[in-house]
């Protein structure tokens, strides 16, 4: 099937993203609170569940719009309905226990039904078997998610919560296996790339808000500048890959790898955001804070490394030595920060590591 190389990101898509800016802020707050110097495992579990549900929903909506969106009144109505549901979902979770997620599960089930209806309309409107197959596959995925989440929302029992989580995991993984259908109607790669980069920029916005505490009259210092440099270097590494090295005019792509690697980047940035706050707090377990920082960096850079498969031909031949140096910088930075666990050392080393890794990516442009 012949697919156009470009598609304009519509204003309604940008408006829709505002809800996700709020969501990222609320979700990240789940892992902002320390208990005996640590973030509880349950907070991490709930954070992971919430982010996967939200981002998976965002991905399904974006891929739908990429293939079938026409800025029609029907599409616009669904966007506004979904935004209402998403706003409610964003205020229906906390970091205490899975038992408090019943409202979230019910709302997520309703959102799944809304997304399902969009694909159901395509199934009945499509005049070719390719689009019918794609619509049917996503309808089945969303129906599974809707039913499992509905069970989790209606029955406030541990077994029901487990069923809901299983449904979330299944619906998160299954789109990766739709390639035999979606290859017949590929995505418009440049549109999906733009949508994903906008999502990551929103996440960087949350990171900037997180470090803003270091830029008050009573807290501003050289360390504040170095923390900003760390975030800026991460941003430069990201835009070097996705704005300069990548081949935007790709064809015959399902977009699955591009989507899943962005989960690594997003989770990585979330960990970096909270760890940059923890490293200055006396009550924080410094080993935990440093581990969050470098664990987040590792996830972030792993996403960038996987994205290499989408690079322009002249940037495909990345030497293994560059990857080794990147990993070595992370390991050394982590080790030094644990051996000399002062705020100043951690900040200086993190800035150096992020600058080195950004420089290695930028260097690819001049090879």
Residues 109-128 pLDDT 10s = 999 999 999 999 999 998 89
Rounded to an integer, what distance in angstroms lies between the CA atom of residue 255 and that of residue 234? 23
Query: Is the Cα torsion angle 138, 179, 250, 20 positive or negative in sign?
Result: positive
Residues 32-91 pLDDT 10s = 877 778 888 888 888 999 999 999 999 999 999 999 988 788 989 999 999 999 999 998
Rounded average pLDDT over 337-353: 94
Return the bridge partners of 38, or none.
Answer: 35
Rounded to an integer, what distance in angstroms lies between the CA atom of residue 243 and that of residue 64? 23
Provide the pLDDT confidence category of residue 267 given band limits of 50, 70 and 90: very high
Residues with Cβ within 8 Å of residue 2, at least 6 apart in sequence:
none
* Span of 22-36, 298-312, 328-342 with lowest mean pLDDT: 22-36
């Amino acid at each position: 099937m012949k697919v156009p190389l470009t598609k304009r990101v519509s204003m309604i898509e940008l408006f829709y993203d505002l809800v996700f800016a709020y969501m990222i802020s609320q979700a990240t707050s789940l892992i902002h609170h320390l208990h005996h110097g640590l973030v509880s495992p349950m907070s991490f579990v709930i954070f992971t569940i919430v982010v996967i549900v939200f981002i998976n929903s965002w991905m399904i909506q974006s891929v739908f719009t990429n293939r079938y969106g026409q800025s029609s009144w029907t599409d616009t109505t669904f966007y506004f309905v979904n935004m209402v549901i998403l706003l409610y979902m964003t205020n229906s979770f906390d970091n205490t226990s899975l038992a408090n997620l019943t409202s979230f599960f019910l709302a997520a089930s309703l959102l799944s039904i809304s997304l399902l209806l969009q694909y159901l309309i395509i199934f009945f409107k499509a005049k070719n078997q390719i689009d019918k197959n794609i619509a049917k596959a996503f309808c089945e995925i969303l129906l599974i998610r809707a039913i499992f989440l509905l069970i989790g929302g209606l029955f406030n029992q541990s077994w029901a919560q487990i069923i809901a989580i299983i449904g979330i995991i299944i619906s998160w993984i299954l789109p990766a296996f739709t390639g035999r259908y979606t290859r017949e109607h590929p995505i418009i790669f440049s549109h999906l790339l733009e949508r994903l980069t906008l999502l990551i920029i929103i996440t960087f916005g949350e990171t900037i808000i997180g470090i803003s505490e270091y830029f008050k009259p009573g807290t501003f210092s050289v360390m504040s500048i170095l923390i900003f440099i760390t975030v800026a270097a991460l941003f430069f590494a990201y835009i070097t890959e996705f704005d300069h090295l990548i081949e935007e005019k790709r064809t015959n792509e399902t977009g699955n790898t591009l989507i899943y690697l962005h989960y690594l980047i997003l989770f990585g940035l979330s960990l970096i955001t909270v760890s940059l706050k923890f490293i200055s707090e006396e009550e924080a377990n410094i080993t935990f804070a440093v581990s969050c920082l470098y664990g987040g960096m590792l996830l972030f850079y792993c996403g960038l490394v996987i994205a290499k498969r989408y690079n322009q031909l002249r940037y495909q031949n990345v030497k293994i030595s560059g990857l080794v140096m990147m990993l070595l910088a992370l390991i050394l930075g982590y080790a030094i920060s644990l051996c000399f666990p002062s705020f100043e050392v951690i900040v200086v080393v993190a800035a150096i590591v992020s600058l080195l890794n950004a420089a290695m990516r930028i260097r690819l442009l001049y090879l």
